[in-house]
A and B are shown apart, each in its own frame.
Chain A
């Protein structure tokens, strides 16, 4: 059974940093691209970042470019999102999602975690 479990969310002050983690199991992690998708309270889905199976390609939404960094450790079956210079508008539930393919340049997420809540407030 595929499982994606996010962790690392919490309450953080504006300008501070937070690192999210996603532990994957039930599939061959290094065969697939991965994404981070967020959802602000009462709002729609927003793609945040994606990474190819071998970390060779990464991408970011304009809203987080230069502040967030995605990475993965295939040996640990884990996905990460380093979030720096956090803003109030980054407040959201952050989902880790598995893509159906290995490459970078598509968005078809067939498995999602339950999300970890990030609240940016003073």
Chain B
């Protein structure tokens, strides 16, 4: 059971838009920055979004992030077949057991 809750799967057609939610609590998302990662099959995770809504160099603006209260959302527009991957949210948890936490991951299928 992950500390952060993501939907197990989402799907959409090429060219469409999809959002992936990440729900947490005041000890994690509510008081810390959220990052998002893309993991293509058989590869290491790749940072897509950090500090809730910032994109590292080289990440297209089709990817966006937002945060409100204890939830965060990753948006992907103009879906491509190459976007099929697992997506994870991550943040810090400032509770007694302070440390990093990830969501359980969301499998994106581009139909």
Contact = CB atoms under 8 A, between A and B. Distances in A.
Given A44-B2, A107-B90, 6 more contacts: A37-B45, A44-B103, A61-B97, A61-B99, A95-B44, A105-B94
A47 B100 CA distance: 6
Contacts of A49: 99
Interface residues of A, number: 26
Contacts, number: 73
A1 interface: no
B105 interface: yes
Contacts of B33: 106, 108
Contact of A47 (B39, B47, B90): B90
B97 A105 contact: no
Nearest to B43: A114
A105 B92 contact: yes
Nearest to B100: A47
Contacts of A44: 2, 86, 88, 102-105
